[in-house]
Amino acid sequence: MLQTYAASPFDQFDAWMAEAEKTEINDPNAMIVATATPDGKPSLRTVLLKNVDARGFVFYTNKTSRKGAELAENPHTSLLFYWKSVHRQVRIEGVIEHVTDAEADAYYASRPRISRLGAWASLQSQDLADRSVLENRLAEMEAKYPTEDIPRPPHWSGYRVLPARFEFWQDMPFRLHDRTIYQRDAAGVWTQSKIFP
Query: What confidence score (pLDDT) does residue 21 get?
Result: 97
Q: What angle separates helix 101-110 from helix 113-121, to the nearest 10 degrees? A: 120
Query: What confidence score (pLDDT) does residue 158 get?
Result: 98
pLDDT digits (tens, 9 = 90+) for 10-61: 999 999 999 999 999 999 999 999 999 989 999 999 999 999 999 999 999 9
* Superfamily, domain 9-112+151-195: Electron Transport, Fmn-binding Protein; Chain A (2.30.110.10)
Question: At 3, is the pLDDT very low, low, confident or very high (cuts 50, 70, 90)?
Answer: confident
Residues with Cβ within 8 Å of residue 163, at least 6 apart in sequence: 9, 56, 57, 92, 93, 94, 184
Residue 142 buriedness (CB in 10 A; 0-12 / 13-18 / 19+): middle
pLDDT digits (tens, 9 = 90+) for 142-175: 999 999 999 999 999 999 999 999 999 999 999 9
Neighbours of 172 (CB within 10 A): 14
β partners of residue 59: 159
* Active-site residue list: 175
β partners of residue 158: 60
Nearest Cα residue to 76 out of 115, 129, 107, 37: 37
CB of 93 closer than 8 Å to CB of 163 = yes
Query: What confidence score (pLDDT) does residue 65 get?
Result: 96
Domain residue spans in the chain?
A: 9-112+151-195
Distance from chain centroid for Cα 106: 17
CB of 17 closer than 8 Å to CB of 61 = no
CB of 90 closer than 8 Å to CB of 30 = no
As a whole number of angstroms, the distance between CA 10 and CA 168 comes to 11
Q: What is the DSSP letter of 84?
A: G
β partners of residue 161: 57, 96
